[in-house]
Structure 1
């Protein structure tokens, strides 16, 4: 086994009950979750007993999924397993900011709560949707995007691009894709994320990070890859803030992140958080990669055994 990356899941992978057994069995996870509960009362009830509709609301999804993603990474760290690099998909990038040392836990949790509230408000003002388009030429899809007023936003892996926009425009795009017999998947998110409709959110996040005294942004302590650039984050505070705050209104270059990780000889990818969406992207992007995940006690045990057997 060579180098390892931790990948933090993004919005859409949430489900009621996520990370509950990690919370119940790992004291370090329980401590952080309880800190979050004090900062945002009701979060644990939403995570463990909320409805799917409740968890789908962006202002709820983001703080809950932040914790669920983090639980797996904290559990691995307790077992002596640490990454050589990290990246998070969309909101997962906030988890990566904490895990790489850019922000403290309280700072990162406050930030993800604010991010969720701002994006929820923007989505309410601009009712939107997102679909994953499968096996379509990128240039052809871009032309359809211009025709329908939609945006190519997430470059997930070869053969899969997410398109975002207002609901009525996404419906127009879906009709054209159906006519062309192109497959697509409706995503479980509630807004036109990573589009210009989120620019006001980007501006407010930047202002919060630059002008508030609530945050002390530090240089990453390990390689942290940016959604916006697909490159490692810089060390200067202002540059870190500019790149992160712009993330919500720009495309997620996930395929390029994975390719760049491969270039730095990462061959083992551990998805931390609910589901296996990011694992699927790795499988389609990095040939021969070892792909693991941690979302509960059972998958934690399996992943730890894989590392032990590789030693």
Structure 2
């Protein structure tokens, strides 16, 4: 069975999407539609912008979403998923690709999500850190013993977990995790504590937008970050999407469940190959590839 997977924030690169725009009339049409919906020329920033331009949350999230979704649309009849999943932001790409959301609504939600997250970051200084070489349970236990807000945020693969929270709590957690034997505990250059309780203001804002958006039954199960199992019920999908902002991304568990349910090939749709690397670390015998437009 073929699982299609969609990357999240961090996969962006300068010039992303230009090849699609120049080669495929459908891609050009969708990119121009995106410029109209967003009210600014995101294509200029994607195709010709700087690394700094692409780092702005209000640009990064829609840019990655557009690259992934437009690629899935250009694949046309060759896009035949038995299941889909997306890492954090990538969950929105997966929902549009599997027809649970239409293109316009998906882009509007991603844009609202980016702006709401940016606002939440400005309310309270916060950050994230990558922890390598420790068992997930031990990382969670150490975080729970630190004063202040610090929680597991991204279960990326065995031995690689990202924590999220208040700056002082993160710094203290990194010290304690190194003492406990972590190979690395490194603060990341991000704008805030994504997938933590500090994103509650953003969750509330996004919840209202999601509740007012029409979701349909997807063409195949979507393995969402929060429950980690295949979901097809539209109302459950909405609830999981709302919960995602303050809950951890359980990518390890999602991939394990996809394998258990029959996935043998994981095709990454969108910029980069980060998810293929994570899948290999989670299940070494899984076959991985990038979406092939040739």
Fold match (TM-score > 0.5): yes
Aligned mate of 1:280, from 277, 288, 293: 277
1:266 matches 2:263: yes
Paired with 2:2 and 2:137, the residues of 1 have a C-alpha distance of: 33
For residue 166 of structure 1, what is the aligned residue in structure 2? 166
Q: How many residues align?
A: 290
CA contact (8 A) 2:3 2:267 kept: yes
CA contact (8 A) 2:174 2:186 kept: no
Paired with 2:92 and 2:155, the residues of 1 have a C-alpha distance of: 19
For residue 4 of structure 2, what is the aligned residue in structure 1? 6
Helix, strand or coil at the partner of 1:46: helix
For residue 96 of structure 2, what is the aligned residue in structure 1? 98
Paired with 2:44 and 2:269, the residues of 1 have a C-alpha distance of: 21
Helix, strand or coil at the partner of 2:162: strand
Helix, strand or coil at the partner of 2:267: strand
> Which ranges of structure 1 fall in alignment gaps of 5 or more residues?
302-311
CA contact (8 A) 1:57 1:190 kept: no
For residue 106 of structure 2, what is the aligned residue in structure 1? 108
Displacement of 1:53: 2.3
Displacement of 1:163: 0.6
Displacement of 1:188: 4.7
Displacement of 1:36: 0.4
- Listed one character per residue, the Cα deviations across residues 140-183 of structure 1 (whole Å, up to 9, x for unaligned) are 21232124341101111111111111223222223334454521
Paired with 2:37 and 2:214, the residues of 1 have a C-alpha distance of: 18
- 5 Å-filtered alignment, 1:137-216, equals 137-148=135-146, 149-179=149-179, 180=181, 182-210=183-211, 212=212, 215-216=213-214
Q: Pairwise CA RMSD of aligned residues?
A: 1.8
CA contact (8 A) 1:9 1:272 kept: yes
CA contact (8 A) 1:6 1:73 kept: no
- Listed one character per residue, the Cα deviations across residues 218-257 of structure 1 (whole Å, up to 9, x for unaligned) are 11121111111001224143x3221111111101111111
Q: Are the structure 2 counterparts of residues 127 and 45 from structure 1 closer, same or farther at C-alpha, using a change threshold of 3 Å?
A: farther
Paired with 1:18 and 1:185, the residues of 2 have a C-alpha distance of: 28
> Which ranges of structure 2 fall in alignment gaps of 5 or more residues?
none
Paired with 2:190 and 2:120, the residues of 1 have a C-alpha distance of: 13
Q: TM-score, normalised by structure 1?
A: 0.87
- Listed one character per residue, the Cα deviations across residues 100-142 of structure 1 (whole Å, up to 9, x for unaligned) are 1111110000010000000111011122222221110223212
- 5 Å-filtered alignment, 1:288-307, equals 288-294=285-291, 300-301=293-294
Paired with 1:129 and 1:12, the residues of 2 have a C-alpha distance of: 15
Q: TM-score, normalised by structure 2?
A: 0.92
Paired with 2:122 and 2:207, the residues of 1 have a C-alpha distance of: 21
